[in-house]
Chains A and B, each alone.
Chain A
Amino acid sequence: MPLREDTHAIDIERIRADFPILARETRPGVRLVYLDNAATSQKPLPVIEAMDQYYRHENANIHRGIHRLAEEATERYESARRKIARFVGAGSWREVIFTRNTTEALNLLARTWGRANLKEGDRVLLTEMEHHSNIVPWQMLAAEMGIELDFVPVTEEGLLDMEAFERLLGQEPKLVGLTQMSNMLGTINPIAEMATRAKQAGAVVLVDGAQSVPHIPVDVQALGVDFLAFSAHKMLGPTGIGALYGREELLREMPPFLGGGDMIKRVELGGFTVNDLPWKFEAGTPPIAEGIGFGAAIDYLEGIGMEAVHAYEQALTAYALERLEEVPGVRVYGPGADQKGAVTSFTMEGLHPHDVAHILDDAGIAVRAGHHCAMPVHLRFGIPATTRASYYIYNTFDEVDRLIEALYRVKEIFQA
């Protein structure tokens, strides 16, 4: 039995008590083991209660009203923005734009920055391990404007091929867009180094932080990136809200995204003047309760500390990798625990991920089976799908043991 390093700085039982869903059974006598955190995380009581509080006591539209409720709602919503700015090390709250999720943030960039700054024949450099949301918006722009896309290949070990990266930078891409943490391989990419090299080559740097911001300390200024996109729902917050960090200088030059209320200063029949940052990119009534919930999620994570979150998850992931690799026929994709976030995607010889996930579900274990919206990286490894167990701050070493037991049960049923 491998070493279980469950001596850590955080009190898991106390954390678990904040997540009521973790106490539920998926069928009589079978307690939920939630290992689908890379898809969406569970929500702690402070987040649920903050949203509830808004609807019970403060519900009003923001930014316009003069009345007390509107003022309170605006303050709570905008204070969430300030928390988010601080959380990712932005220079100012004006650099944080609320979006629906990471996907919308990336589309916003392609449609505003992309349309304004790219022209036919310009190159955009992405990676083979991107989520579809950081590929398709650029493919759409390529079809529309004739820009060229290049992809940094992934090595057998599940890392970005840095020699190829250097070579592709030689083609002078206008934008380098890369994920900080792969949602399939779990690979944590060396963003600071890559951003430095990309900038030397004259590119603007965009980072997909959907998987990294929830799990590791992220500081946009220390990393030297121009844009960072992430979603609340993968970091203990609600669905329906995400954020785009952008360097103020770049945001100021970008054309607006959607048109409507809130994104304007003044409208006449002959035209409009855009609002100041960040509202220039935020047309229409936003998801207010969700914004407030996002702020509460940040408070919760800061209460634990992102260093502690990362350290605990790294120990848990190392243990999961060790135990997974002892199951005959299991192959885990991606690098070792030292270069990886809390994601373990694997295949089992002779078995389809759907069948594996189905039998795990019988044991109360929620995992993801499929291509996880990252088909290119699956194709890279010549597999149509994987089973993915992904962890968060409330998962325990015992839950990893339950996963492993259930995998042996899968083998027994299939005599594999």
Chain B
Amino acid sequence: MIDVLSAASSNFLSPTILAFVLGALAGFFRSDLEVPEAITKGLSIYLMLAIGMKGGASLATSGVGLDVLPGLVAAIVLSFFIPLVAYGLLKFATRLSTVDAAAVSAHYGSVSIVTFVTATQFLTDIDVPYEAHVIAMVALMETPAIITGLMLARRGVASRAKGSLFTPDMVREIFFNGSIVLLLGGFAIGWATGPDGMKSVSPFFIDPFQGVLCLFLLDMGLVAAHRLRAAQSLTLGVVAFGLYMPLIGAVFGAAAGLLVGLSVGGTILLTVLCASASYIAVPAAMRLALPKADPGIYIPLSLGVTFPFNVLIGIPLYAACIDAIVN
């Protein structure tokens, strides 16, 4: 049984979360602290490859059967579906244009891999296991939301002006972006080489993982604060959406996780995925496909509002609620 208060305090007092808070404070107080962008990119490559390999090696140990299919299908369906809910709420509760609402909704149907990685670290810290194939669900949930978002955006365009939904560089961006390649590639490497392969790289990919996550979250704190300070297009209604939409997404994720028979750990991770919003793959795709959508709305919202909410409050909250339901 996960106690919500002890889970929240152990989450808040973990080095990774405190590093995020440090970065955010440094950003708000305009410190000259800066993590060079090349290092941030390097750290993100490390984290995604490491989490992919760990998942693949774990699947090699546990074996794979048809029982993983419902979870994978649920992930795809959720990613298609959540933007519809987000779009409806945005059109109802805010004054965002059709194209801005569609772009924002795509972000909330897709996933934040860093939030996911933080959640896996949280589960490791409190000794809650989870299914290996959840890693594959992360990769599957990146793209469908982009398709839904683009289709929603086309509602506001005259039929004559509707061009092709996907240009070649769009297809490259959404199906072969770096995070999908690293997650699925790492997963395949981990699966092919199994526990022995993982053992051979564990001094690099397992032991320093939490330290690297600390450094990465330090930078995420800086960037989140920077984006929030620079955000001038965010209205109160839009900021509120960034706080209640994760909770709505979490309900869908938890329900789906329990419905398809995931473990408590797996359900918590699917819930975190549904509650999170993308700020790496989807913004790039939206700039290419919807240049009229304002990145000053969707990036500060997902990175400056929803990401901190999920990392600081959401993850332990979802974990405690799911644990309470199951037990």
A and B pair up: no
